[in-house]
Structure 1
């Protein structure tokens, strides 16, 4: 493996000169051409991470995610990575597999690796998280959750819940099952449900039951049949697209037609929701754009620029075939 020492020897210059060139410092034009020629001939690739550790101002941004097998996570990471590259920063990813202890450990580990800042795609924020943030002398940015002591980029889950609630009511549905997740997850488990409840209260004359499942599609497949048998809702409003996909599978296994016998909605806007049949009506979140926003915000924090403590990303309802219009049936 070619090293800086090799580049210096082959170029006939000092190691410090090569290092200065690689870090964007001032180097004479003739010397610069010598170094560039040797780099091209040897195929030398600078170790960005090592250079960042040695630099007075590191350019590595640590990004901690709860899971890698998630559409929302992957799209957010793409947005973060693309934007950081444009701003001459690099992303270092760490996965926690939805283990909170591991998440806390990774926060400290990232800090020891001298990253310039940490972007945390959080599912919940505990007192242990806040204690870690307070101990570290680097910028921290949350994505997906908010806390009054930490800069945050969030999806407007309350408004999204409210909007899908208004949509469902406008389609004439009044017997509704809402299938959510644990309230430890404030964004998905609490705020989406709160927004939906407000829409229900405004509409009045509704029979709504609230159920809880996990983020896993398989659990929704197992749970939905009992909800259908016990409650007989006209629609299932699911807190994520994965839950909605599980609900659609469960309905199919029971011989229930969507949307003729049961309507289903989700949250997320995953690509697969467009290609399945029937297509899933869902609230689309713009995960990639949220990732770009997070990257821009983190670079501002690293450079001590002003930043609003809370930033909201966009959403919109994508209407497809999975929701029946009950009002049109009565005409």
Structure 2
């Protein structure tokens, strides 16, 4: 592999001149062409991470994710990466596998690696997180969760839950099972449920039971048959599309027809929900756009520009085949 010293020797210029060229400094046009020709002939690729560590103003943004096999996380990362590239920044990714201790460790590790800032796709924010943020002298931005002391980009989970609740009521459903996740996850576990509950309370004359599962599709598949046998709901409202997909599989295994015997909804708007049969009615969040917004916001923080402490991304209800209109049956 070629080094800056090799490029300097082949171009017959000083090593500092090559370094200045690679960092966007002032170099004469003739020298610039010589360096570019040698780089082209040798296939030299600059080590942008090493350059960032040496630079007075680093251009690496650390991004910490709870899991890499998540549609939401992958789409958010695509948005972050594409936007950072446009803004001449690089992304460094660290996965925590939903281990909070590892997440805290990664925050400190990235800070030691001299990143310009950290974007955290959080599932929950603990006192230990806040302690870490306060100790670090770099910008921190949360995506997906919010905290009063930290800049945040969130999906409008409460309003999304509320709008879906209104939609379910408008379809005539009054016996509802809500299958959520732990309320330690404020966005998915608490705010979606709270928004949905508000819509139910405003409508009245409705029987709702709340159940809890994990984010894993397989666990939802195991959990749903018991809910159906115990409660016999007309609709199962699931806190994520993955949970809804598990519910669809469970219904199929029990010989239950969706939506004729049981309606099912989700949250997320994953691509697969459109091509399965029946296709899934869901709340679509714009994860890639949220990632782009997070990248833009982080660069503003790095450059000490003004930024609102809380930014909301958009959502919309996608109506498909998995929800029956019970009011039509009564006509």
Could you say which residue in structure 1 is the equivalent of 2:225? Answer: 225
Could you say which residue in structure 2 is the equivalent of 1:215? Answer: 215
Aligned 1:178-327 pairs, distance under 5 A: 178-327=178-327
**CA distance in 1: counterparts of 2:41 and 2:222, whole angstroms:** 60
Deviations 1:185-217 (A, max 9, x none): 000000000000000000000000000000000
- SS, match of residue 110 in structure 1: helix
**CA distance in 1: counterparts of 2:168 and 2:40, whole angstroms:** 61
CA shift, 1:69, in A, is: 0.3
**CA distance in 1: counterparts of 2:265 and 2:275, whole angstroms:** 15
CA shift, 1:262, in A, is: 0.2
- SS, match of residue 141 in structure 2: strand
**CA distance in 1: counterparts of 2:315 and 2:225, whole angstroms:** 30
CA shift, 1:271, in A, is: 0.3
- SS, match of residue 82 in structure 1: helix
CA shift, 1:280, in A, is: 0.2
- SS, match of residue 153 in structure 2: strand
- SS, match of residue 211 in structure 1: strand
Could you say which residue in structure 2 is the equivalent of 1:20? Answer: 20
CA shift, 1:169, in A, is: 0.1
Could you say which residue in structure 1 is the equivalent of 2:77? Answer: 77
| Alignment pair present for 1:127 and 2:130 | no
**CA distance in 1: counterparts of 2:140 and 2:132, whole angstroms:** 10
Give aligned pairs, total: 331
**CA distance in 2: counterparts of 1:48 and 1:67, whole angstroms:** 25
- SS, match of residue 27 in structure 2: coil
CA-based RMSD = 0.3
Deviations 1:217-242 (A, max 9, x none): 01100000000000000000000000
TM (normalized to structure 1)?
1.00
- SS, match of residue 305 in structure 1: coil
Could you say which residue in structure 1 is the equivalent of 2:5? Answer: 5
Could you say which residue in structure 1 is the equivalent of 2:54? Answer: 54
Which stretches in structure 2 are left out of the alignment for 5+ residues? none
- SS, match of residue 251 in structure 2: helix
- SS, match of residue 312 in structure 1: strand
| Alignment pair present for 1:38 and 2:50 | no
Could you say which residue in structure 2 is the equivalent of 1:95? Answer: 95
After the TM superposition, which parts of structure 1 deviate over 6 Å for at least 4 consecutive aligned residues?
none
